[in-house]
Amino acid sequence: MSKTPTISFIGAGNMASAIIGGMLEHGYEADNIWVSAPDDGHLQSVRKQFGVSVTTDNRHCAQQADMVILAVKPQVMADVCRDIAPMVQNTRPLMVSIAAGLTAETLDEWLGGGLPVARVMPNTPSLVGKGAAGLYANDQVSDEQKTMVQSVFDSIGTAVWVEEENLLHGVTALSGCGPAYFFLILEALEDAAKNAGMADDTARTLAIQTMAGAAEMAARSEHDPAQLKQNVMSPGGVTERAIHAFEDGGLRDLIQKAYSTAFKRSEEMAEQLAGKQ
């Protein structure tokens, strides 16, 4: 596709806003973006914030698109898809779902069948160009359409194709949910520092910079995280005590448990929603 593709978002919530904000920040033209959602008041604030075109009519939104990004909650996806199915069966845009769990087969069935359907599991740091997304496409998606969806998610972070759709459960439990895990750790670290008497803004600044610095270092280093951790743990020093406290408290098991629970929930949602009539 030589012209800039028109991209329509159905749903204007946290994740759609993060993707749109990231795309605009990275040079995508607001003129080529449409957004629909039920609440006109909310849409008008989206229009003001981003300068995109808005409508409360999902069909009208989908009609404009080379690529439709379905950004509603999984539980309302069936109704949304069935409503726009007659329209997209005519225009045949690339349909992209960012919903957790829902399979391409289920989505395609709700959309009337035979459409190019891709799935993306993005995350909210897309807003600041630091997203991490897993991508999957069904066999109706052309190479040109794969390039189109990849270029959108590459522009707002890192996008990685998975060979098998089932692998998206693991992507969801890692990078889809992951920002929340790190925000929890930030909250807890800030609280610990404040409990010991540190000023609120100092605790926040130091905690955020430490997390960002550790991530940047892990990304650039030739060493693995275990070695980088060891490099901070002076024998008989301070960090060693804290790391032992984490290990003794079962932090690794807890992380494994949280990850597995998220993974299972993603599988469970796929099964439950596939049965939705």
Ligand X SMILES: O=C(O)[C@@H]1CCC=N1
Strands 33-36 and 7-10: parallel
Please give the residues from 76 up to 135 whose contact with ligand NDP meets the rule CB under 6 A: 76, 80, 98-100, 121-124
- 3-class SS at 55? strand
CB-count exposure of residue 170 (10 Å: 0-12, 13-18, 19+) = middle
Minimum distance of ligand X from residue 241's CB (angstroms): 34
Residue 72 binds to ligand NDP (criterion: CB under 6 A): yes
What residues between 22 and 41 interact with ligand NDP by CB under 6 A? 36-39
In the complex with ligand X, the residue whose CB is nearer, 37 or 102, is 102
Nearer to ligand NDP, 97 or 203 (CB): 97
CB-nearer residue toward ligand X: 8 or 172: 172
Would you count residue 71 as binding ligand NDP (CB under 6 A)? Answer: yes
Tokens of 72: 């509603």
Instruction: Report if residue 176 touches ligand NDP, rule: CB under 6 A.
Output: yes
Could you give the 3-state DSSP secondary structure of residue 199?
coil
Residue count, binding to ligand NDP (CB under 6 A): 27
Closest approach, Cβ 269 to ligand X, in A, equals 8
Q: 232-263 burial string, b = 16+ CB within 10 Å, else e?
A: eeeeeeeeeeeeeeeeeeeeeeeeeeebeebb
x/- track of binding to ligand X for residues 164-193 (CB under 6 A): --------x---xx----------------
Task: Provide, rounded to whole angstroms, the least separation between the CB of residue 230 and ligand NDP.
Answer: 33
Q: What is the dihedral of CA 165, 149, 178, 98, to 10 degrees?
A: -70
Q: Is 197 exposed, middle or buried (0-12, 13-18, 19+ CB in 10 A)?
A: exposed
CA 4 to chain centre: 23
State the residues that interact with ligand X by CB under 6 A: 100, 172, 176-177
State the residues that interact with ligand NDP by CB under 6 A: 10-16, 36-39, 42, 58, 71-74, 76, 80, 98-100, 121-124, 176
